[in-house]
Structure 1
Amino acid sequence: MNLPAEAVNVLQAFQDLPGWEQRARLLMQWGERLPPLADEQMCEANRVHGCESQVWLVGELREGHWQFSANSDARLIRGLVALLLARVNGLSAAELLQVDLAGWFNQLGLARQLSSSRSNGLNAVLQRMRELAG
């Protein structure tokens, strides 16, 4: 499957790093770069259920391709969500269904650091994206 340009950039950045500490630092930087959601978007209707941390997600279909925005109250989760957005933004609804979340974080060298609760939370975010695109 073709990766969006942003996902290719993420992959190159993470694969060039030798260790977990550098990846963790880069992960936090990606989270800090997430554009903030407007206050009215951080409402219960946009909250993703199934995450231990609070995560808000909004999606918009533009010319057949989905663009998602998200935020979280937890720094690490915000970074992970930012990397997920890089992977999915610009995809069609059909392509969204084929995204392999575990495979993506494995490629980034981050899979071992995903606890089961974080992994479940990210799966909930991806599932919500698929519902919005459905």
Structure 2
Amino acid sequence: MPNKVLKREYRVSGERIRVTGGFCTALHLRDCRRKCRVENTAVTPYVSHMSYPEDIQDMIDDFAFLTDWEERYMHVIDMGKSLPPLDTSEKTDAHKVKGCVSQVWLVSRVEDGKLHFRGDSDAHIVKGLVAVVLQIFSGRRPAEILALDASAILGELDLAEHLSPQRSNGLKAMIERILSQARALENS
């Protein structure tokens, strides 16, 4: 990855920060935020209306670091590339998410009372959206999953307004499938 001059604003611990210079060779935004020299500015602090688990807040901070939709779009694709592919034997109708234009498969397992999800898609951007959804929900107890407000989190990521209606419907279908599994496990 080539060095990139950083002239951006982002949030750290609820406060807006401006990168004052330097180069970033980090492969992940979280590492980039840690490596780069930053200083406080007079920008009005950003205060989230919700308190999120740390891994979700890290993802929100990663997206906040990116200043335009094209950068966010590429980050979503990169997130998808980091997902391990599902085995061909797992790409069955039982795992296929209905309501997605692209093919999407979600596989779940329960371990220690927590739902763990893996997913895949045949489209790069959709695979990235799968990665976002897995970041939000995977590895949590059913009650935790049901308590999360996916719409609010996606709003914090500023994704929804930039997705086509078909992709938005597919995203909702993925989330509904996960919520349905969490409800079924919670009620069993």
Q: Same fold (TM over 0.5)?
A: yes
Instruction: Tell me the equivalent position of 2:74.
Output: 25
Aligned Cα RMSD in Å? 1.6
Greater strand proportion: 2
Greater helix proportion: 1
> TM-score scaled by structure 2?
0.66
Task: For residues 28-72 of structure 1, give each alpha carbon's deviation from its aligned partner in whole angstroms, at most 9, with x where no partner exists.
Answer: 100100111111111111101111111000111111111100001
Instruction: Tell me the equivalent position of 1:110.
Output: 159
| Alignment partners' CA distance in 2, 1:118 and 1:99 | 21
- Superposition deviation, residue 4 in structure 1: 4.0
| Alignment partners' CA distance in 1, 2:176 and 2:110 | 16
Instruction: Tell me the equivalent position of 1:84.
Output: 133
Aligned counterpart in structure 2 of residue 12 of structure 1, from 46, 54, 61:
61
| Alignment partners' CA distance in 2, 1:100 and 1:87 | 10
One-letter identity of the residue aligned with 1:54: Q
1:29-108 to 2 correspondences below 5 Å: 29-108=78-157
One-letter identity of the residue aligned with 2:58: N
SS in 1 for 2:98: coil
Higher mean C-alpha displacement, 117-126 vs 5-14: 5-14
- Superposition deviation, residue 74 in structure 1: 1.0
Q: Which consecutive unaligned segments of at least 5 residues does structure 1 have?
A: none
Q: Which consecutive unaligned segments of at least 5 residues does structure 2 have?
A: 1-49
Max Rg structure = 2
CA contact (8 A) 1:65 1:90 kept: yes
> TM-score scaled by structure 1?
0.90
Q: Taking CA–CA contacts closer than 8 Å with sequence separation of 6 or more, which of the two structures ends up with the larger relative contact order?
A: 1
CA contact (8 A) 1:53 1:77 kept: yes
One-letter identity of the residue aligned with 1:131: S
Aligned counterpart in structure 2 of residue 125 of structure 1, from 156, 167, 174:
174
| Alignment partners' CA distance in 2, 1:41 and 1:107 | 32
Q: Which runs of 4+ in 1 moved over 4 A?
A: none
